[in-house]
Chains A and B, each alone.
Chain A
Amino acid sequence: MDLRSNIPGGPIDQKWENHKADLKLVNPANKRKFSVIVVGTGLAGASAAATLAELGYNVHAVTYHDSPRRAHSIAAQGGINAAKNYQNDGDSVWRLFYDTVKGGDFRAREANVHRLAEVSVNIIDQCVAQGVPFAREYGGYLANRSFGGAQVSRTFYARGQTGQQLLIGAYQAMMRQVGLGKVKLHHKKEMMDLIVVNGRARGVVMRDLVDGKISHMTADAVLLCTGGYGNVFYLSTNAMNCNVTAAFRAWKRGAAFGNPCYTQIHPTCIPVSGDYQSKLTLMSESLRNDGRIWVPKKQGDTRSPEQIPEDDRDYYLERKYPSFGNLSPRDIASRAAKEVCDEGRGVGPGGLGVYLDFAEAIGRLGEKTVSDRYGNLFDMYQQITGENPYKTPMRIYPAVHYTMGGLWVDYNLMSNVPGLFVLGEANFSDHGANRLGASALMQGLADGYFVIPYTLGGYFGQGGIERISDDAPEVRQAVEATKEKVNRLLSINGKRTPTSFHRELGKIMWDYCGMARNEKGLRTALERIPALREEFWQNLTVPGTGEQLNQTLELASRVADFLEFGELMCLDALHRNESAGGHFRTEYQTEDGEAQRNDDDYCYVGAWEYTGEIAKSALHKEPLTFENVKLATRSYK
């Protein structure tokens, strides 16, 4: 398996410039002879589709939504980082690069991260030109805030709806190209498989979600911009339809999967309220600036929070991390909440929750100030829980939020399958083992607006892409494989619903491959997942036919892939005998309970190859070298 990262030579701050100068160009008259399929229309997909069409390529944009504007990028709240240094507070491309490499716990590629920091400034300019209504100061200039514990104010935002506004900007740019005929939009179409001909990615198989028709489309390159796989846990902050199928199918067709075990758990989400729970809602991290987190000292204390006196409360973050306290980083705050709940001190239904208490802040600042700062979040909390957080403490619990792992790509964002490019959350490249706040939006747009337009041209410019027949055996085989999968799902006629399997898988993943992992638990999961998968293929029920709008079938098809992918995640988590960022192995921690990296043995990207059986997937290693940022231990004591 060819895992050459193709990082250009030269000093870190000149690599991208040099590389752009070296990349082959495609002349304008030839660009219109190339076609590209872009799967997914979130920040990465919409920005790539728009930009490539502007350059003259023929673009096909595929989305399973009814409109490309629905992609889950839309739900991002906080903001987008950029090294503009508008605040004159010491920010720079170097500092954003440094923070991102360190925040990723030294498991990202330096060269990719530096490029990300470089183009971050262009993203803001582009979005402003498109009419994205960023927050402004009274003088009319762009406002910034500090976010996610950064020491500089480099986060641009649009109220609590930054993702929505950035996505609408990219969507509009893409719809302009749809109007001009350069982008052909395929909505309500789900990618079911990747078509690989003569070793190159040349197309996709799609299922029409309205009439069930299975069709194929070929092109000169395929871009997967299909987001993350957090829904393997069933409950997450992801949208209900987010899934791993596109990336997973590409993996089965030969693309390497990088670091699948790196998942991010966000500490402040609204807890589960019952078995019917369908998803989890994030509450902005900013609440921890004034809220105090606690649980009762005694196990099984069922008194209401107001009745529990100070002496019977354990403000465990303040106790364990006196200098950072309630502002401890995401992974640390999440694990601490799990620990106290595992000890039987959790609050609310099922004991899976901790209090986030504003009584002290209201006493200190007054209700008006607290309302000015957090009013919209308090309203949202009350809308969902029916409880008034001004009167009674919020209940929060960690939830799966983002996946740093993804398909392996080189510096050009191309996977090891030539012609298959992977952008945004779907690739593994920029966040290492832990993503910093306000960096996901930055990466999606960097990939789509400013990286792929250059590197795709470099790929086309090399030539060698042959004309293929629409009737090639590889095309027919991929279409047949999809039809077979759909027919198989429809013909089991068992008793259990796709949701019930999904929920059970999610529980296994959460218990054994969630916030804290260990060898014993992972081995248990590796036994239980295949068993569950076997039951799935014998006892699944999917009523209706394949020739109609059939949401049960859609879900069943996605759950089938999650049931295989979950096993791969556990394999990766089991092999990585260290703790790094979002991957915490209980065997590998310091005496104080902090994550213990093992740079001697694990300073590499774990890239998995499909060999025909998940359990026998082959591990390949891309070594990571740190020439510009010195390997160091994160500490928040």
Chain B
Amino acid sequence: MNLRLHIWRQAGPDAQGMLRTYDVRDVSEHMSFLEMLDVLNEELLAKGEEPIAFDHDCREGICGTCGLVINGRPHGPLPRVTTCQLHMRSFKDGDEIYIEPWRATAFPVLRDLVVDRSAFDRVISKGGYISVNTGNAQDGNAIPIPKKDADRAFDAAACIGCGACVAACPNSSAMLFVAAKAGHLGLLPQGQAERSERALSMILTADEAGFGACTNHYECEAACPKGIPAEFIAMLNKDFFSAALASRD
């Protein structure tokens, strides 16, 4: 198939970006979306032009490195599929495709389609863990955890930290990301001791990083490639409000 691509090009963090148009020919439906961009990049290199920078690594949908806004949708048209797992059979001959980076104040563009998501790491560094030093642990089976709870915690822990939730949100809120971590740890007995402090600290850090507030659009849930439900945000809000009230001295 032949396609017309409109791709965001931006030379650096402070440079002015713009959409540029590229025609690609003879695209196989078996190619992944990123392989289609690989082929385009090889053509650009052959012409002596600088290729399009985009982030990617595992290409198996688990590392969370890739992330393109494709025709206005983070990770493209298919639900629960990362950009790297999207294949060209989801498109048809003659399609025009708009390809842009995640857009959020807290995720500045570094070049073309590559953004800086280190704000997510800062959020985790302020509470997104259980404080246990190596060597402190008791036997693994000393803490029975009902299967239902373990499965629910896993649903939240499945977050790959890609940032699609932020890119999809009109407020650029990171609440689904924060809630997934708070939910994962807050549903487990090991996570109870720091539950309130964790909610408070991660939300305040996200605010400082420039992520917006949640106003219940549910775009995050729709965009999440791992299908993490927005009800974890409700759980986080509950933890946050009780922690905020308790901490008012």
Contacts and interface: CB of A to CB of B under 8 A. Distances in A.
Interface string A110-153: 00000000000010111111110111111111100000000000
Contacts of A543: 45, 48-51
B221 to A, nearest CB: 20
B167 interface: no
The residue among B125, B130, B145, B184 with the most chain A CB atoms within 10 A of its own CB is B125
A80 to B, nearest CB: 12
Interface in A385-406: 385-386
A497 B45 contact: yes
Contacts of A541: 45, 48
25 contacts: A69-B64, A74-B58, A84-B140, A126-B132, A127-B140, A131-B185, A133-B184, A133-B188, A138-B147, A161-B62, A173-B129, A175-B124, A175-B125, A179-B127, A239-B63, A273-B30, A274-B30, A276-B28, A278-B35, A281-B60, A386-B87, A497-B45, A500-B42, A543-B50, A549-B114
Contacts of A25: none
A75 B28 contact: no
Closest 4 CB pairs of A and B: A140-B144, A179-B125, A172-B129, A129-B137
A130 B153 CA distance: 13
B210 interface: no
B178 to A, nearest CB: 14
B51 A278 contact: no
Interface string B196-231: 000000000000000000000000000000000000
Interface in B139-164: 139-141, 143-147, 150-151, 153-154, 157-158, 160-161
The residue among B63, B81, B110 with the most chain A CB atoms within 10 A of its own CB is B63
Contacts of A51: 133-134
A140 B145 contact: yes
A130 B188 CA distance: 10
A129 B147 contact: no
B192 to A, nearest CB: 11
B5 interface: no
A450 B34 CA distance: 39
Nearest to A211: B12
Nearest to B141: A141
Contact of A66 (B118, B124, B127): B118
A283 to B, nearest CB: 11
Given A543-B48, A548-B12, A497 B42 contact: yes
A139 B118 contact: no
Nearest to B123: A175
B121 A175 contact: yes
B128 interface: yes
Given A75-B63, A131-B185, A240-B57, A125 B110 contact: no
B83 interface: no
A278 B87 CA distance: 13
A249 interface: no
Given A130-B132, A131-B184, A543-B51, 16 more contacts: A47-B134, A65-B65, A69-B64, A71-B63, A86-B141, A126-B137, A130-B130, A136-B147, A136-B151, A240-B59, A274-B31, A282-B60, A383-B85, A384-B32, A543-B45, A549-B111
A281 B58 CA distance: 9
Nearest to A548: B12
Interface in B31-57: 31-32, 34-36, 38-39, 42, 45-46, 48-51, 53, 55-57
Nearest to A181: B125
B58 A75 contact: yes
Contacts of B116: 66, 210
B81 A383 contact: yes
A139 B144 contact: yes
B120 A67 contact: yes
Given A126-B134, A543-B50, A187 B62 contact: no
Interface string A259-296: 00000000000000110111101100000000000000
Contact of B121 (A54, A67, A384, A500): A67
A69 to B, nearest CB: 6
A137 B116 CA distance: 40
A70 B129 contact: no
B8 to A, nearest CB: 14
Interface residues of A, number: 80
Interface in A62-109: 65-72, 74-75, 84, 86
B191 interface: yes
A133 B185 CA distance: 9
A558 B83 CA distance: 25
A240 B56 contact: yes
Contact of A142 (B11, B31, B39, B140): B140
A241 B57 contact: yes
Contact of B117 (A66, A129, A210): A66
B190 interface: yes
Contacts of A50: 134
A135 B147 CA distance: 8
A319 B113 CA distance: 52
B6 interface: no
B190 to A, nearest CB: 5
Nearest to B186: A131
B131 interface: yes
Nearest to A50: B134
A582 B226 CA distance: 35
A361 interface: no
Interface string B1-35: 00000000001110000000000000011111011
A453 interface: yes
Nearest to A240: B57
Contact of B57 (A65, A171, A273): A65
B150 A72 contact: no
A184 to B, nearest CB: 12
Contact of B53 (A130, A385, A551): A551
A136 B136 CA distance: 22
B247 interface: no
Nearest to A122: B137
A299 interface: no
A178 interface: yes
B205 to A, nearest CB: 9
Nearest to A545: B50
A66 B150 contact: no
A383 B48 contact: no
Contacts of B45: 497, 541, 543, 552
Contact of B150 (A133, A176, A383): A133
